Structure formats: C-alpha cells, structure tokens
C-alpha cells in the first residue's frame, strides 16, 4: 500500500488491514480466508514470507490462531 496520511504524522494509530477471501461455488458461499494484519507492509501477514494458501471446499472454516486467521484455507506446507 502506498500513500500518505496527513493525520498519521501527528496522531498515533495502529493500522488494521482486514482481508477477506470468499468463494462462491454452485450457489454456496465459502469463507476462504479472514485475516487482520496490523501493518501496511507488503507480505506483512507472515513477517515477510509469501502467503501461499491451499483451500478445500470440503472443509469447514476453522480458526488458525498460529497465524491469526480463519477459514477453509490453510498455509501451503
């Protein structure tokens, strides 16, 4: 993300970037990925590592506290 904020220079803040990925297949909506990252960094979700996901429509959405996300998508091993 690029840009400038006039107020960010003199008002402290914590960035929160919400990310959602949904799939619609045969009329059903699946929660693939939900994550909130607290930085504006490219690849900031996992501390600079690329985000590679594997998503299985047969799975139920679950919380993945080790990476702070939830959904049917998991990190590719």
59 within domain boundaries: yes
Is 69 buried (19+), middle (13-18) or exposed (0-12) by CB count in 10 A?
buried
Residue 13 confidence (pLDDT): 80
Total domains in the chain come to 1
Give just the sign of the alpha carbon dihedral 64, 69, 73, 77.
negative
pLDDT for residue 77 = 82
CA distance 46 to 41: 10
pLDDT at 4: 65
Q: Within a domain: residue 7?
A: no
The verdict on residue 1 lying in a domain is no
Q: With respect to residue 4, please indicate whether it lies within any of the assigned structural domains.
A: no
The confidence score (pLDDT) of residue 74 equals 93
Q: Note whether residue 30 is domain-resident.
A: yes
Contact between residue 58 and residue 28 where contact means Cβ atoms under 8 Å apart: no
Domain of 50, in residue numbers: 14-75
Predicted pLDDT of residue 2: 54
> What pLDDT digit, counting tens, does each position of 3-62 carry?
566 776 788 888 899 999 999 999 999 999 999 999 889 999 988 999 899 999 999 999
């Amino acid at each position: 993300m690029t840009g400038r904020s006039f107020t960010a220079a003199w008002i402290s803040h914590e960035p929160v970037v919400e990310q959602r990925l949904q799939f619609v297949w045969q009329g059903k909506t699946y929660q693939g990925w939900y994550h909130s990252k607290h930085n504006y960094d490219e690849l900031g979700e996992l501390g600079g590592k690329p985000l590679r996901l594997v998503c299985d429509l047969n799975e139920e959405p679950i919380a993945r506290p080790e990476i702070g996300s939830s959904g049917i998508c998991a990190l590719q091993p």
